[in-house]
Amino acid sequence: MDFKLELVQVPVSDVDRAKAFYTDKVGFNADHDHQVNEEIRFVQLTPPGSACSISIGTGLGVEMTPGSVQGLQMVVEDADAARAELAARGVEVSEVQDFPWGRFVFFKDLDGNGWNIQQPTVPA
């Protein structure tokens, strides 16, 4: 049986501001934006090429503090190119850092949720 992780909730303080950051700055696709009623809004955003999306919104039943999610990770083929693209879009992104298990770039969203971008190291 396959267990596929397809959606991770990310707590934000302002849905419209976060949606703009993730789509305009980071380049995620806006898949859904539904105002179910006055209390519930569901927004689904997906990184290009990813099978897993994030959700942001209001009234989604999860008690998390905006900025409390850390270590969300995306994998890319070229950390330098990913860093250059994000920086060109206006994202405050770290320099590329080399570790034995990969090359990494780090950034935070407007609420402080932390993201890692990994270029895996190919074993010699």
Express each pLDDT in 55-81 by its tens digit.
Answer: 999 998 778 999 999 999 999 999 999
Note whether residue 2 is domain-resident: no
Domain hosting residue 107, numbered range: 7-59+67-120
Residue 93 pLDDT > 80, yes or no?
A: yes
At residue 122, the pLDDT reads 75
Note whether residue 1 is domain-resident: no
Nearest to 50 by CA among 5, 19, 11: 5
Q: How many domains does the chain have?
A: 1
How far does the chain reach from its first CA to its final CA, in angstroms? 33
pTM: 0.93
Which range, of 14-18, 59-63, 111-115, averages the lowest pLDDT? 59-63
Note whether residue 92 is domain-resident: yes
